[in-house]
Chains A and B, each alone.
Chain A
């Protein structure tokens, strides 16, 4: 038994132990290499394996009105985010999701493109309903790589009452990301940014800075929980913004503006040019736009004949009609071609011959001899034709342009239409292909012809009339630096003459007496009946204007209001009550007088008859 001799066994046992040692050394060496020498590399791998970076949306700044009332704030909403992964599984997840979330095939393609482009998480739905979120949460295992995040959602408390002026937010588009305005490092795909109105104008201020957080995911990409270890960057909320707007006044205007009509109401504070109200009708609900508007609604809003998305207050251009007579009168006074007390040589007989044409006054029975104030009060066209001739076409063009009727107001909104007024005779050649004759001035003098102004521009003009002939730019935000204002260069006595004219408009016998007279406040202003292409063809009514100012009796006006009602036919019957009621609401609130739904004289007459205050004030009339 030589083979199993103790000595032979010992030798072989030693050999076996040596072989064992080699194997053990190999193992220990391998573990030493990976656990000691390369540990930091693998630790990094382990962290990147399981940690995913996710953005934390910063709340957008709150927008408040002049009284500190909130117009737009944030409420908790849900955003559905999909973590990156291989394209096939992303597509499959999105297709499965489309059973519960509204996802068109085009949207799926778009999202996949976004993944390909940025290689990071994408927001599938910035504003998911709670029901959708619950459904997805229930099917968590089916959707392992989606992340549902509480995310501040914009809420417009003013709703349709201040839709155009505040604007709305929406997901940032690729075009915006590439543009100069969003070059800021804060902007990333999937964010909400201001699209129109104040939201767009003050985007930089309202937008906060996104934060970062880390979540732990398991091998299947399921989010296991928040990870509060390494560097986490909290989000920085956006800055708040206080406006000059009066939310209650906006709501009031929204309420009183005739539902079936289109138009705009602009209310300015003559003290500082602040915009008290800026309303455009018909309106829409900006809350529908938050988190993406439904395509059906979007189509409806865009194809609506009445153009609800169009902000008529700052973008709408209308012939200012008789409201512009004040500008003509101002120019004439400044040039010295008329004096306040002069009559025009030809009295108004309802018609007036110029060259070989006959021009009519709106009042076919005529106004007789008028001085300037009377002519404004009666809105006598015959008087203003003669006034226009005295100014002359060239001077009319020069001065109107000088004053700034073809400039913008400089309101703090992303878009504003420029007033249109020909600067020189060349205009007629360019646009209509003929040289203007002197007679063109007749139409310009009564606010017709190639003259289009925005309601805001007219309001700014009336602010200048309410003040000392100058008007600061209308501002929406409270604490911003004012741009260059507007000056009419009028002497105080001339201004007074114009105001006297405005007073006559709402005085007994004036064109807007019934629509404009209020119990507590003196309302003065000017009606306008704007001819438009449709009304000239007899297809629709004229646009109804009223531009006015109001304040306590005998004191400086505290509010300037301009209203235009498209195809409203009568400035005095349709637009003037809107202006008066707007002013009444604002002033009653300001002076602590309870609001009454029956406000103008016209409303009193239609409901309860002649009011007591009217008899007291106008004893002589009755």
Chain B
């Protein structure tokens, strides 16, 4: 029996952990539906999520049987198709459910799905395919142009939707895969520097100090970089500082609000700050032990926003307390650590890169989603893998699990 399960799961440790998280998620979705003024949609969300779990498990069974080489082969076509779909969403896309402001969904009869979920996996595979063929580490910015472009294409399309949360996941993928491909950390830091410069440019003095630091860093690192690369990094930083303000004004007002509220939730307690304040009230009032499963008052009385999707972790915090949140975070940590361990064991570069790509995507999802419920990061509409309600997201997460266990299984041999 255990043998049978092992043969089915390929990596029982990861699959059991993920399965437990999914079941835990269904329980929390059930609890999120237990409110004073029941809503038929959220009340039975857990039933639909359970049905999706069954579909996801079937998809897992199939996907986990696909040979690694086939996966490698399908990467590029899948990437191209997903880019087409992403472009299509900009024309025919629609908002759905709580994310109604973001046109990231495509409707196919009764099914609607987010091409960005497919794109995420396709991008990981394509990146892994590209970098897996290299036998030298990426050592210069020029080496990074190709992988960055592969991520950049879907990233731009997703930013146009605009879906900041998913875009962040792509950045997570890029950095994780580059890291596994042997890119020096210093180079990654240089790559990230324009992003940091963008954020810091809001205060001229801080930004000037930051630019100084970059210059010093480039000087210290001069023997490992081409001169034009140093200039490019510096220029990128200057550019980021310059476009910061126009970029800020080009953001939708709800996006601006989210950032302002992140800095100070009290700015707009009835509007944008409402979600974060209510979420923190729920989690904080949960205390050490929580208010008990289904007994969260903030949740029950509908104070929590989007409590069965993006803010499901607020329900965890309120009802299960600090003990529950730490256990859940550790479960996620275990899943992520398991991916790293599997990558370490994989001889095949493609396998390791796929595993780290999934690691990068999930790390962003988990950190941003959980972090926003306590005000650690700004609110972005990004779901929590396996726990948040959402059928296609669950399905694609399980497909990712299937790919992970498959490539790890074959990559070791």
By a beta-carbon cutoff of 8 Å, the part of chain A in contact with chain B is: 1-4, 8-10, 12-13, 15-17, 20-21, 23-24, 26-28, 30-36, 38-39, 41-43, 45-46, 49-50, 86, 216-220, 222, 224-225
Contacts and interface: CB of A to CB of B under 8 A. Distances in A.
B287 A8 contact: no
Contacts of B182: 3, 8, 12
Nearest to B332: A24
A42 B280 contact: yes
Contacts of A1: 135, 349
B37 interface: yes
B36 interface: yes
| Nearest 3 CB-CB pairings of A with B | A42-B284, A46-B285, A13-B344
Contacts of B35: 218
Contacts of B398: none
A31 B303 contact: no
A46 B182 CA distance: 49
B181 A3 contact: yes
B371 A9 contact: no
A217 B375 CA distance: 25
Given A4-B347, A43-B285, A218-B302, A27 B371 contact: yes
A222 B303 CA distance: 11
| Residue with the greatest number of chain A CB neighbours at <10 A, chosen from B270, B298, B347 | B298
Interface in B298-319: 298, 300-304, 317
A562 to B, nearest CB: 65
A492 to B, nearest CB: 81
A10 B322 contact: no
Contacts of B90: none
21 contacts: A2-B135, A2-B136, A3-B134, A3-B135, A3-B136, A4-B347, A9-B346, A13-B344, A17-B340, A23-B367, A31-B322, A31-B326, A35-B284, A35-B317, A35-B322, A42-B281, A42-B285, A217-B301, A218-B35, A224-B36, A225-B36
A342 to B, nearest CB: 93
Nearest to B176: A16
A39 B289 CA distance: 11
B51 to A, nearest CB: 29
Nearest to B322: A35
A46 B371 contact: no
Contacts of A3: 134-137, 181-182, 349
Contact of B325 (A15, A31, A42, A225): A31
Contacts of A21: 333
Contacts of B303: 49-50, 218-219
Most chain B beta-carbon neighbours within 10 Å: one of A10, A16, A41, A45: A16
Interface string B122-148: 000000000000111100000000000
B361 interface: no
Given A24-B329, A218-B36, A34 B301 contact: no
Given A3-B182, A35-B321, A219-B303, A26 B371 contact: yes
A220 B321 CA distance: 25
Contacts of A38: 284
A548 B176 CA distance: 111
Nearest to B348: A4
Contacts of A86: 270
A20 B336 contact: yes
Interface in B352-400: 352, 356, 359, 363, 367, 370-371, 374-376
B301 A27 contact: no
B284 A43 contact: yes
**Could you say which of A17, A27, A224 has the most chain B C-beta atoms within 10 Å of its C-beta?**
A27
Contacts of A224: 36-37, 301
Given A2-B135, A20-B337, A35-B284, A50 B298 contact: yes
B33 interface: no
B322 A9 contact: no
A36 B326 CA distance: 12
Nearest to B291: A46
A35 B286 contact: yes
A86 to B, nearest CB: 8
Secondary structure at the A interface, as helix, strand, loop or mixed, is helix
Contacts of B322: 31-32, 35-36
Given A1-B349, A46-B282, A46-B285, A27 B367 contact: yes
Contacts of A219: 278, 301-304
A42 B283 contact: yes
A50 B36 CA distance: 12
B297 A50 contact: yes
A216 B337 contact: no
B364 to A, nearest CB: 9
Interface in B243-292: 270, 278, 280-288
B325 A17 contact: no
B302 A28 contact: no
Given A3-B136, A218-B301, A49 B281 contact: yes
Contacts of B301: 49-50, 216-219, 224
Contacts of A15: 179, 185
B170 interface: no
Nearest to A39: B287
Contacts of A31: 283, 317, 322, 325-326, 329, 374
A30 B333 CA distance: 16
Contacts of B343: 9, 13, 16
Nearest to A218: B301
A21 B333 CA distance: 8
B237 to A, nearest CB: 23
A217 B325 CA distance: 27
Contacts of A17: 337, 340
A225 B349 CA distance: 61
A361 B209 CA distance: 118
A34 B287 CA distance: 8
Interface string B174-207: 0010011110010000000000000000000000
B340 A20 contact: yes
Interface in B149-193: 176, 179-182, 185
A4 B347 CA distance: 7
Contact of A28 (B137, B304, B329): B329
Contacts of A4: 347, 349, 352
B288 A39 contact: yes
Contacts of B352: 4, 9
Contacts of A222: 37
Contacts of A26: 367, 371, 376
B341 interface: yes
Given A35-B286, A45-B284, 20 more contacts: A1-B135, A12-B180, A13-B340, A13-B344, A15-B185, A16-B180, A20-B336, A20-B337, A27-B370, A27-B374, A30-B371, A31-B329, A35-B325, A36-B288, A46-B297, A50-B297, A216-B297, A218-B302, A219-B302, A224-B301
A2 B326 CA distance: 39
A584 to B, nearest CB: 66
Contact of A34 (B179, B298, B341, B374): B374
Contact of A220 (B284, B285, B298, B302): B302
Contacts of B270: 86
B206 to A, nearest CB: 22
A28 to B, nearest CB: 6
